[in-house]
Amino acid sequence: MSDSRVTINVNGAEAVETSAVKDFFALIKMGIVNSNLITAFTGMWLALEFNHQHFLQSLDTIFLTLIGTALIVAGSCSLNNYYDRDIDQIMKSKNFRPTVTGRISGAKVLTIGISFVVIGTVLLFMTSVTAGIIGAFGVFSYVVLYTMWTKRNYVSNTVVGSFAGAVPPLIGWAAVDPNLGIIPWMLFLLMFIWQPPHFYAIAMKKCEEYREANIPMLPVIRGFQVTKWHMLIWVICLLPIPFFLKAIGIPFVMLATIFNIGWLVLSIAGFKMKDDLKWAKYMFIYSLNYLTILFVAMVILTLF
């Protein structure tokens, strides 16, 4: 994997400047790693708060949990990229990946993916057996259940993939307190429900790419109108979640409820907007802000 910067052009796509660092970040899907670290840290922070454990006295657990989570997510994404090389080269939004361009060989990708997963899982087991088991389940559900099984065969692939994306808060909590209570499970449920409308918005924007790659995403198989109804239903399912998190504080319940109502209004507006792709973009942006603000708010509001 060279450190030099090069310009690549794949399948007629626009030339893109890349480097070893950019290739590595693309391989491990750094954006996904970062978002998972935010939710894992929040779960761990809340566990420390509700179990009356001091943050500075738990730095070893915090370090092991964050590094372990980052490694299993990065490793899983690397294995996903390796398995999806054939369809990624068809999709214009993904054919820049180093697994497609050949900037990182398949052998190196497998080595990185498996090594990261193994090391990350060991680090999580060093915090608690429960955290290690949950982490291993996350890897299995993303790599095997989603990537290798449902993604190419079933329209329910997005829902199946949501299990993996929902486990980081559970990992963070279990690393501190293996006895999972209502709060960590509600964080898991919040993450699980959040993902379908988020990823359906992406699928709408990339509908033709998925169609060309023969991936049975909901917008491809059932169309935009049905997809909008599914997104609306998932958003409605978020409405009761904040009321199970009253222990975090009434201000959080109010904030989360306001964001839920805002997302609900935006979801309903999709049935009136003429530009479906523009609406999908709004839904995508809202979902990103929703997740980041709520999980950061959980940390900030428990400081007072």
HEC readout, 38-63:
HHHHHHHHHHHHHCCCCCHHHHHHHH
Confidence band for 155, pLDDT divided at 50, 70 and 90: very high
Listed in sequence order, the DSSP H helices in 224-304 are 224-238, 250-269, 276-301
Domain of 273 in residue numbering reads as: 181-304
Confidence band for 304, pLDDT divided at 50, 70 and 90: confident
**What Cα–Cα distance (Å) separates residue 64 from each residue in 8, 132, 169, 226?**
37, 11, 15, 43
Quick one: 112 and 249 in the same domain?
A: no
Residue 1 reports pLDDT greater than 60: no
- How many structural domains comprise the chain? 2
Confidence band for 6, pLDDT divided at 50, 70 and 90: very low
Quick one: 250 and 285 in the same domain?
A: yes
CATH of the domain at 95: 1.10.357.140
Q: What is the pLDDT of residue 11?
A: 45
- 116 lies in some domain: yes
Residue 116 reports pLDDT greater than 90: yes
Quick one: 46 and 138 in the same domain?
A: yes
Q: Which residues pair with residue 6 across a beta bridge?
A: 18
Residue 236 reports pLDDT greater than 90: yes
- Of 108, 116, 112, 106, residue with least CA distance to 138: 116
The residues near 24 (Cβ < 8 Å, ≥ 6 apart) are 1, 98, 104
Residue where one domain finishes, among candidates 179, 196, 230: 179
Quick one: 157 and 186 in the same domain?
A: no
Quick one: 137 and 256 in the same domain?
A: no
Please say whether the beta carbons of 13 and 96 come within 8 A. Answer: yes
Residue where one domain finishes, among candidates 179, 194, 216: 179
Q: Express each pLDDT in 87-104 by its tens digit.
A: 999 999 898 899 999 999
Quick one: 223 and 279 in the same domain?
A: yes
Tokens encoding 285: 């942006």
Residue 177 reports pLDDT greater than 50: yes
Average pLDDT, integer, range 203-223: 97
Please say whether the beta carbons of 4 and 19 come within 8 A. Answer: yes
Quick one: 25 and 158 in the same domain?
A: yes
What does the mean pLDDT of the chain come to?
A: 93
- 2 lies in some domain: no
Task: Name the least confident of 6-20, 23-37, 157-171, 281-295.
Answer: 6-20
- 88 lies in some domain: yes
Quick one: 253 and 159 in the same domain?
A: no
Confidence band for 17, pLDDT divided at 50, 70 and 90: low
